[in-house]
Structure 1
């Protein structure tokens, strides 16, 4: 048993200021303000274990935004010379030491950290230097697989991300057709697994499935516009991106498939949906 995790604990006794719960770490206080109605001595209750501002072991029924070993996006509530304090859903903020910040955090910023346990002090803290924690063996994944993406850094090339709370991946800016920011949690797909274990990511499907998905999006756009769109193979990439949120290359592939299957008619003015 350790702090930073959820446990089902038995209520041992009740006092004016709360209830004491039985745990492997000793009796743990659940303050009265966190006790739901109807609980009594002998019941079990699900709680999160942490330490308060005076380093006392406490239980709470509040749910923080992450638990031990999670990668999580948090907002900087305050800064001090020795570190930053992150809002993570509990009264006591999560502390990120300066030495664990990849850059100096600023109040109001959203930053991604891993929730860790300092074994010397038995305190929870946040670590913003993430690469050391990310698995270089991505053999359990396959290209085209859907994954969870948590964006944690931006470069000229793209957005570095935590994939499935375990791996490192990159969303390339020239393949994005929607705004992306640090802290965003997205669904995406593995487009390539590199030899170093890092992943190339896309927010849309790849291969044949991507064409099918784009064709569906094109038909939906046509239906919303009374069956016609003023787009064609000579339309600019900017026009296509603005209307359909896809690249011109993806648009032409989807349009070609729909035309071949006699779902659309090509006009000088654009595209017409056929019944």
Structure 2
């Protein structure tokens, strides 16, 4: 029989009942089953199926709650805490949260998951043989994914980001489809574990999809136009920007490209909400 170790699912004999729970025995090793980890009362001499984990002191504990995330299976686990030096802790369904090391997280801190994000993980061990969470591999995604339908282009799609790349991010949709978001199609920096919603812009021959998180141009124009109106209102109805202004000045002032600015200004001029004169735009 295999030596008891954190991460194992095994049978243990109830040796005795104590005030805080039960003392189990597995191959001569004593293991604590705390009352909080016992789904139901058990009797002395009974064999119980448990999942083993280590407490903060490194002692081997057991729980009768068998998690969906194990050494052999993957599942989604919610991020419950971010430790800036260690990584993030995820809830796999037992009383102890499990660390996913910073070594398995993106180099940019902005791309780290936040509490409430969800990661597709399995269990493994670090260099010190401690039980840790490990992110899903591309091989597992290829085994688990579904093929996108031929008519999916233009359809809405939602999912969780499971991998960050230099040029964008990859996510697994609610329908089990693998999708790629190029950095130019994102609204800012994307996080590992972030829930995203977008629109399919291309179905690839392998059944995966390319996705944009950016709104349709008409929606973007309306949003950018509202931003310009707010900016004008905050400056007394006047700003030193027109559709002839340099791109860097527009970006510094409004955080949008010159092309987006020109489209939004064009919309506002057409609607007779603004006017331009002598290098300035005025709110009418």
The root-mean-square deviation of aligned C-alpha atoms, in Å, is 4.8
Query: Aligned pair count?
Result: 220
Q: How far apart are residue 208 of structure 1 and its match?
A: 2.0
Maintained 8 Å contact 1:144/1:205 = no
5+ residue gaps, structure 1: 1-13, 20-28, 35-40, 42-48, 61-66, 80-84, 97-103
SS of the aligned residue for 1:211 comes to helix
2:216 to 195, 206, 209: 206
5+ residue gaps, structure 2: 1-16, 23-32, 42-49, 55-59, 67-72, 125-130
- The equivalences for 1:101-250 within 5 A come to 105=104, 110=112, 113-116=119-122, 126-130=134-138, 132-133=140-141, 135-139=145-149, 143=154, 145=156, 147-148=158-159, 150=161, 152-155=163-166, 157-164=167-174, 166-174=176-184, 178=188, 180=189, 182-183=191-192, 185=194, 187-190=196-199, 192-195=201-204, 196-250=206-260
Maintained 8 Å contact 1:228/1:273 = yes
Structure 2 partner of 1:8? none
Q: 1:204 to 1:181 in 2, by over 3 A?
A: closer
Write the distance in 1 (CA, Å) between the matches of 2:251 and 2:195. 20
Cα deviation 1:109-144 (Å, max 9, x = unaligned): 7478523479xxxx9953431464263533485526
Write the distance in 1 (CA, Å) between the matches of 2:77 and 2:175. 6
SS of the aligned residue for 1:56 comes to strand
Cα deviation 1:155-208 (Å, max 9, x = unaligned): 2x3333444484333333345563x15426264422503234434333431232
Q: How far apart are residue 242 of structure 1 and its match?
A: 2.9
Write the distance in 2 (CA, Å) between the matches of 1:246 and 1:162. 29
State yes or no: 1:17 paired with 2:20: yes
Q: 1:142 to 1:131 in 2, by over 3 A?
A: farther
SS of the aligned residue for 1:70 comes to strand
Q: 1:136 to 1:241 in 2, by over 3 A?
A: farther
Rg: which structure is higher? Answer: 2
Q: 1:170 to 1:77 in 2, by over 3 A?
A: same
Maintained 8 Å contact 2:90/2:100 = no
Structure 2 partner of 1:254? 264
Write the distance in 1 (CA, Å) between the matches of 2:252 and 2:148. 35
Q: TM-score, normalised by structure 1?
A: 0.57
Q: TM-score, normalised by structure 2?
A: 0.56
Maintained 8 Å contact 1:192/1:201 = yes
